A and B are shown apart, each in its own frame.
Chain A
Amino acid sequence: MSIRKDVLPIDGEVGRRPGGARRVAYPHLIYWFLFAQGGVVAALLVPVHVLIQGILGPLGIVPVVDRHYDTWVAMLGNPIVKLYLLVLIAVPFFHIAHRVRYLLTDFGVKSAKSLPAQIISYGGAVVITLITIWVLLTTVPIKLG
């Protein structure tokens, strides 16, 4: 595997095998994948939700599905909606976790690259994901058809 010289090394996080060969950074693969996906989800989907459900709906300018119990329950019973909400809520937190950790790294906080920092940031996102799953599964029963 060739290593491009213009790509900065990931200091301290990518170790070497005993023979000196670079180790594949599998955690980074997962972090960056979730970071990118979270960024895309947050960029494409969050603004319209905030605009309609946070501003236009409460002001009474447009009717919104979550303003009334019956329409919201009918919507939330759909498994595709539950899956959509899980992605919409949980994935951007992995983006935030990665972004904040590297923001702190850029500010010179060396401990932001440590294992505890990774556990706190990504672990926090995992906890939020689990809470989201729990809330989605315990609020409205899934209705098929």
Chain B
Amino acid sequence: MFSVIVLLFSLYHSFTFLSLAGVIIHVKVLDRPVPSRLIVLSQFALWAVASVVVGFVLIWFAR
């Protein structure tokens, strides 16, 4: 039960923190600013990739 509560709070942190990336990060490519929506999407994609990699390691090395 404790882990479920912790998971909810950590997901809340992840969602709010990564959503703010579009406000914080300003990147220019070919002298044109990258849209904040694209930056937020890349952050969420990075989160998904990191989760898959870490999850894979945690489960794979259990064998």
For B59, give its contact among A44, A54, A55, A64 (CB under 8 Å): A64
In the assembled complex, A48 has its CB within 8 A of some CB on chain B: yes
Q: Are B46 and A65 neighbours in the complex by a CB distance under 8 Å?
A: no
Q: How large is the interface on A (under 10, 10 to 19, 20 to 34, 35 or more residues)?
A: 20 to 34
Scan A100-138; emit 1 where CB is below 8 A from any B CB, else 0.
000000000000000000000000000000000000000
- B9 CB to closest chain A CB (Å) equals 9
Separation of A94 and B4 alpha carbons in the complex (Å): 24
List A residues 29-51 near B (Cβ within 8 Å): 39-40, 42-51
Which residues of B sit under 8 angstroms from A64, Cβ to Cβ? 58-59, 62
A75 touches B7 (CB 8 A): no
Instruction: Assess whether B55 is interfacial by the CB under 8 Å rule.
Output: yes
Q: Which residues of A contact B37 (CB under 8 A)?
A: none
A50–B62 touching, CB < 8 Å: no
Q: Is B42 engaged at the interface, CB distance under 8 Å to the other chain?
A: no
* Least distance between A127 CB and chain B CB atoms (Å): 22
Does A141 belong to the interface (CB within 8 Å)? no
Q: A55–B5 Cα gap in the complex (Å)?
A: 11
Q: Mark A52-72, 1 if CB is under 8 A from B, else 0.
A: 111101100011111110010
14 residue pairs of the A-B complex, CB under 8 angstroms, read A39-B17, A42-B14, A43-B13, A43-B14, A44-B47, A44-B50, A47-B14, A51-B55, A52-B54, A54-B3, A64-B59, A65-B62, A67-B62, A75-B61
Residues of A within 8 A of B (CB): 39-40, 42-55, 57-58, 62-68, 71, 74-75
List 9 A-B pairs, minimum CB-CB distance, nearest first.
A54-B3, A63-B62, A48-B51, A43-B14, A43-B17, A65-B62, A44-B50, A65-B61, A50-B7
